[in-house]
Chain A
Amino acid sequence: MKITIWGARGSLPSPSPETNEVGGNTSCVQVESDDTMIVLDAGSGIQRLNGNVPSHIKQIDILLTHLHLDHIMGLGFFSVLYNPKMVVNIWGPTGVNFDLESRLTRYLSPPLFPIRLKDLPCQLNLFEVNHSAFNIGDLKISSAYVCHPGPTLGFRIEGPSGILTYIPDHEPSLGSSNFPNVPEWTSGCSLAQNSDILLHDAQYTSDEYKTRIGWGHSTMKDAILFAEMSKTKKLLFFHHDPGRTDNHLNSLLKKEINSHPVDFEIGLASEGDQFIIGEY
């Protein structure tokens, strides 16, 4: 399984010379396994993915964790949606009153976007997901609602060679009265269990979090504790605060690692980074 990060910024694209290393594009991750290609979220990072879709790929599955703008703002700009020969499956969370198509159409229609969802030339299929498991090629996908405002999923992708877990927007300590000591009472813990790589929300410092409780995001410290609890092998901080420069992020990462030593790898998810799980 090959994983490529095309966007790891949270909330708002933040391109600037000071964010060049980690990148300023919002959530978008490409997962490849043989002839299967999955795109995790459709943030502004999808623009860079446009030039990196292998020519043999005839079907792309886009898994949306939720429909906050930073996770779908790139959708209408994904070039494969305009290819009549391409099968595009979009998987997203179930709502209560409106189906996935209705909710996506709010964005993909005038006046917010010139082209309507139903007018896209590709062979488009929409699938609603709720705490369910399904297969895409040789990859088994498990989904579960996680603690974040509005219907929001995390995804666990299990391939023959290992496990990737993607929980970009998640406030694990909010729903748990004794975090991080009780895995069964911690949202998302089953998804992340024994992951080879965990991409997890790490937007805030512990000081910032004090005034942002309930906003749906994790501290860097909680991301580490969550990864430790779920016995993750490698944690990559994701959903970087849009106000952080590369220098600031690197210094915070170093500080967090020093204050909470663990026996697994921790890093910053950065645009262009590639990771291989098993053989590819």
Chain B
Amino acid sequence: MSSHQLEIILSRQLADSLSIPIFLVDPDGNLLFYNEPAEELLGKRFEETGALTVEEWSTMFKPNYINGDPMPPKHLPLVKTLENHQPNHGSFYIKNFKDKTIRISATAYPIIGRPDRFLGAMSMFWKNEGS
């Protein structure tokens, strides 16, 4: 079995060490890992969901704009980062696996290895006050 590239391995290790919820995806958007704080936010352990495609994870949480309108997946910060290889930020509602609606902010940034190899992206989430 081939191993992931070093930058992805270290990104996972970083995510695993932080108390901020984090998603890690490959260049195609396949969800490679989310950490324990993200498990708590989403309501399901990573071992239960396993790796997910971008089509799966971008729709399964039913993202909504703050005004309540459905948010198309391509407007999610992480999906935008996969598209433009730049950091993106946004706030929106999701419905987690326990059917709870949560307002979150997400900051996504690209993982670009030496020299200019786009290897994937990470997204950090903040549960907004009062949600």
Residues of A within 8 A of B (CB): 93-96, 128, 130-131, 144-147, 151, 174-177, 183-190
Main secondary structure of the interface of B (DSSP, over half): mixed
Bound-complex Cα distance A63 to B74 (A): 44
Tell me which of A128, A146, A177, A183 contacts B1 (CB under 8 A): A183
- If A175-B13, A183-B1, A185-B12 touch, whether A146 touches B6 (CB-CB below 8 Å) is yes
- If A174-B13, A177-B12, A177-B16 touch, whether A185 touches B4 (CB-CB below 8 Å) is yes
Main secondary structure of the interface of A (DSSP, over half): loop
Bound-complex Cα distance A183 to B16 (A): 17
Interface pair A186/B3, CB less than 8 Å apart = yes
Interface pair A96/B3, CB less than 8 Å apart = no
Min CB distance A177 to B, Å, is 5
Q: Which residues of B contact A184 (CB under 8 A)?
A: 1-4
**For the complex of A and B, 6 pairs with smallest distance between CB atoms:** A189-B3, A175-B9, A145-B6, A190-B2, A177-B16, A190-B3
Q: Which residues of B contact A145 (CB under 8 A)?
A: 5-7, 113-114
Min CB distance B57 to A, Å, is 19
Residues of B within 8 A of A (CB): 1-7, 9-10, 12-13, 16, 113-115, 117
Instruction: List 4 additional A-B contacts (Cβ < 8 Å) besides A184-B1, A185-B9.
Output: A96-B114, A145-B7, A151-B114, A184-B2
Q: Which residues of A contact B4 (CB under 8 A)?
A: 184-185
Bound-complex Cα distance A185 to B3 (A): 6
Interface pair A188/B3, CB less than 8 Å apart = yes
Tell me which of A95, A96, A147, A183 contacts B6 (CB under 8 A): A147
Q: What are 28 of the A-B contact pairs (CB < 8 Å)?
A: A93-B114, A95-B114, A96-B114, A96-B115, A130-B113, A131-B5, A131-B113, A144-B6, A145-B7, A146-B6, A147-B9, A147-B10, A151-B114, A175-B6, A175-B9, A175-B10, A176-B9, A176-B13, A177-B13, A184-B3, A184-B4, A185-B4, A185-B12, A186-B3, A186-B9, A189-B2, A189-B3, A190-B2
